[in-house]
Structure 1
Amino acid sequence: MHYGLGLPIGRPENLTDWARRADDGPFRTLGLLDRLVYDNPEPLVALAVLAGATTRVRLQTEVLLAPLREPALLAKQAATLDRLSGGRFTLGLGVGGRADDHQATGTDPRHRGRRLDEQMARMRRIWSGAEPIGPAPARPGGPEVLFGAFADAALRRVARWGDGFLCAAPPQWAGELFTKVERFWAEEARDGSPRMVAQVNVALGPESTVDDARAAILHYYAFTGDYARQTAERMLTTPEQVREAAKHFADLGADELVLYCWGTDPDQVERLADVVS
């Protein structure tokens, strides 16, 4: 099983330092989340900068809120980033759940799932060369696409349009989601198997680092009420917890586990590298 590193959003000016450290190994992927009405860096722009600061590690949106964006431009941006990074880009997509994000873009959150399906159909056409919108991506047919999802209709989207599943559920819930994705994949008569990528929230180090990370989670998920508290409480804060979660996901057949950091101290890279090496 590979390991990825999720990047904090609190200090965007430090992300190149995180990326250069991670590029030395052992991480396979750098992930970055997406929101619009929030004080976070725009992920495609940020990952383009990080692509230029690295040579090995992959770059991944985790997840990009596609329904907020126009599909032709998104297809062009994704293909450009895939091409300029030498095929190191993974487009993780989701529908989002914040009404203020949709209000800011004038999109209707009630139809975000249907809009994402329509967007994927258009982007696949563009990436295949059926429309004269370039550049062609480094990966034939478009960059790798993962979907973050929980509901059955969204999980089926993995099989219909994607290359794999991005699972942000706790280990005890993930097995059922993995099983559903595999079943939908078979029902869609897809070749091979979906790539399974899991994600857990982490912060290692002194108490101040852990407290800052919990505060960041509580602020980010404040609109969810009790879910924010539960998410902060589930954050992994010791090497033993990280190793236990890694073993659980490996036993479930995960191809990769992304350790999403909420603390802004770049030393998190080395602390986590020591745990998973």
Structure 2
Amino acid sequence: MFVGLGLPIADPAALLTWARRADGGPFRTLGLLDRLVYDNPEPLTALAVLAGATSRIRLQTEVLLAPLRGTALLAKQVATLDRMSSGRLVLSLGVGGREDDHHVAGTPLRERGRSLDRQLETMRRVWTGAPYSDEAGPIGPAPARPGGPELLFGGFRPAALDRVARWGDGFLAAAPPSWAGGLFDTVRRAWHDHGREGEPRLLAQVNVALGPPQLRAYGDLGADEVMLYCYGTDPDQVHRLAELC
């Protein structure tokens, strides 16, 4: 089982140090949260900066609230970051359930699931190099991975879990082991019900995980990776967390 590192959001300028240290350690992935009405760095912008400061580690949104963003520009931003990071981007998407985020973005809260499905259809088409519409041509650049970057989804409702099987490569569970196991099982069933080959990637996200027993609990559930989120801003936390892996 792999271990990733969720980045703190309190001091965006410190993220370069966090990323460089993590790139030289045992971590597989850097994760960054998304909100609009909150004091956090915008994840695609921040991860683009971190991509230039690292060479190995993967860069993951957790989760990017796609309905808050324009679809065509989002598809272009994602493809650009994926291409310039040599395919290290992992795009984890969600709909966002906080009313203030949608109010500021001017997007209808109750339409967020349907909006995401429409966005996914459009972005998949854009990433294949097909014309955007009858009135507009293709939107480049092409992503590093044909058809777009690895695509994960977060969420708890049945529609969100089913979306993994319809559109994605895997699922990100921001839940304790007692809850994550049922979510993983639901995603696996949906995956096979939709006739998908193989198995979905299963990731867990926890705010604090101190010591191997916490990590083993997710490994026993079949998690492929656990993202450790530490909200201290001292970059030395990277080395301390690495000792637990």
The one-letter code of the counterpart of 2:101 is: D
- The residue that corresponds to 1:77 in the other structure is 77
Offset of residue 247 of structure 1: 0.5
CA distance in 2, matches of 1:193, 1:160: 13
The one-letter code of the counterpart of 1:30 is: L
SS at match of 2:38: coil
Runs of 4+ in 1 over 3 A off after TM superposition: none
CA distance in 1, matches of 2:119, 2:40: 24
CA distance in 2, matches of 1:245, 1:194: 22
- The residue that corresponds to 2:228 in the other structure is 259
- The residue that corresponds to 1:56 in the other structure is 56
CA distance in 2, matches of 1:246, 1:16: 26
CA distance in 1, matches of 2:3, 2:177: 15
The one-letter code of the counterpart of 1:10 is: A
1:183 and 2:152 correspond: no
Of all paired residues, the percent bearing the same amino acid is 69
The one-letter code of the counterpart of 1:8 is: P
- The residue that corresponds to 2:97 in the other structure is 97
Offset of residue 6 of structure 1: 0.2
Structure 1 residues without counterparts, runs of 5 or longer: 203-235
- The residue that corresponds to 1:29 in the other structure is 29
1:145 and 2:151 correspond: yes
1:164 and 2:133 correspond: no
- The residue that corresponds to 1:3 in the other structure is 3
Offset of residue 174 of structure 1: 0.8
1:66 and 2:70 correspond: no
- The residue that corresponds to 1:197 in the other structure is 203
- The residue that corresponds to 1:123 in the other structure is 123
- The residue that corresponds to 1:249 in the other structure is 218
Offset of residue 262 of structure 1: 1.2
Offset of residue 39 of structure 1: 1.0
CA distance in 2, matches of 1:186, 1:245: 29
Offset of residue 245 of structure 1: 1.8
Query: Structure 1, residues 125-167: CA drift from partner, whole Å, max 9, x if none?
Result: 1111112001000011100110001111110000001110001
- The residue that corresponds to 2:108 in the other structure is 108
| Aligned pairs, number | 239
Structure 2 residues without counterparts, runs of 5 or longer: 132-137
CA distance in 2, matches of 1:20, 1:42: 19
- The residue that corresponds to 1:215 in the other structure is none
Q: Normalized per residue, which structure has more helix?
A: 1
The one-letter code of the counterpart of 2:239 is: E
Offset of residue 50 of structure 1: 0.1
CA distance in 2, matches of 1:188, 1:75: 25
- The residue that corresponds to 2:14 in the other structure is 14
Name the Cα RMSD after superposition: 0.8
CA distance in 1, matches of 2:3, 2:235: 17
- TM-score when scaled to structure 1? 0.85
CA distance in 1, matches of 2:101, 2:122: 22
Offset of residue 48 of structure 1: 0.2
Offset of residue 37 of structure 1: 0.9
